[in-house]
Amino acid sequence: MSFELPKLPYDYTSLEPHIDARTMEIHHSKHHNAYVTNLNVAIAGTDADKLSIEDICKNISNYPMPVRNNGGGHYNHSLFWSILAVNDGALPTGKLMDAINAHLGGMDKFKEEFNKAATTRFGSGWAWLCVENGKLKVCSTPNQDNPLMDVSECKGTPILGLDVWEHAYYLNYQNRRPDYISAFWNVINWTQVSRRFEAANI
């Protein structure tokens, strides 16, 4: 089995003006595609080619660095694309909103904590909202690591992630990572985040 680049459930233009079409096209068709290609090379002929990407991440300490970097890259970007859609200011609802209130002190505090995690991640990496033991938490990871990985300082099941590598925003935002982070809140598909939250809580 080999991994494949997932098709996006929307057009490259559909997140504009928050995330521009050229960035989306390069990010998906070049960057993510390279992670998939390099992951397939790295796992060819090993037992990892029978595993899900989630199971590879959970046991990532058993694999060499190219699997960690490219496997993480494939998992992280697949999650990222799935939770994006222009939301017109909509907020989370239902059990997810209840958990944001109960575990994170409400939407404003959650945004503040998430923005801080995304802004202060030095160099390249990701900010996450994840579920650990039934509770929500915010954290960040370097490079293409993620909270599923056994080597990660931040552990849990990710339900929302933001790519803060420069390739994710530089064409449109240049060095203004905080502007990109602010714009991200306009393109979170809360229905998909809720779906991941409820799946993680079972």
Rounded-to-5 percentages of helix, strand, coil across the chain: 55, 10, 30
Closest distance between Mn ion and the C-beta of residue 80, in Å?
Answer: 7
Q: Which is nearer to Mn ion, 15 or 168 (CB)?
A: 168
Please enumerate in sequence order all residues whose Cβ is within 8 A of that of 86, keeping only pairs 6 or more positions apart, or say none.
14, 15, 18, 186, 187
**124 and 93 Cβ atoms separated by less than 8 Å:** no
- Between residues 4 and 47, which has the closer beta carbon with respect to Mn ion? 4
Q: Tokens representing 52?
A: 């899900």
**Residue 95 or residue 176: which is nearer to Mn ion going by CB?**
176
- Please state the closest distance from residue 13 (CB atom) to Mn ion, in A: 19
User: Nearest distance from residue 103's CB to Mn ion, in Å?
Assistant: 27
Q: Is the Cβ–Cβ distance between 35 and 74 less than 8 Å? A: yes
Nearer to Mn ion, 141 or 194 (CB): 141
Please check whether residue 149 is in contact with residue 58, taking contact to mean a CB–CB distance below 8 angstroms.
yes
Q: Cβ closer to Mn ion: 96 or 126?
A: 126
| Binding positions for Mn ion, rule: CB under 5 A | 163, 165, 168
Across the beta sheet with 135-142, the strand order is 135-142, 125-132, 157-163
112: CB partners within 8 A, 6+ apart:
none
Q: Which residue is nearest to Mn ion (CB)?
A: 163
Nearer to Mn ion, 152 or 194 (CB): 152
CB of 84 to Mn ion, least distance (A): 12
Quick one: 57 exposed, middle or buried, by C-beta within 10 A (0-12, 13-18, 19+)? buried
Task: Please tell me the distance from the alpha carbon of residue 59 to that of residue 57, in angstroms, as a whole number.
Answer: 5
In angstroms, what is the minimal distance from the CB of 111 to Mn ion?
22
CB 27, min distance to Mn ion, A? 6
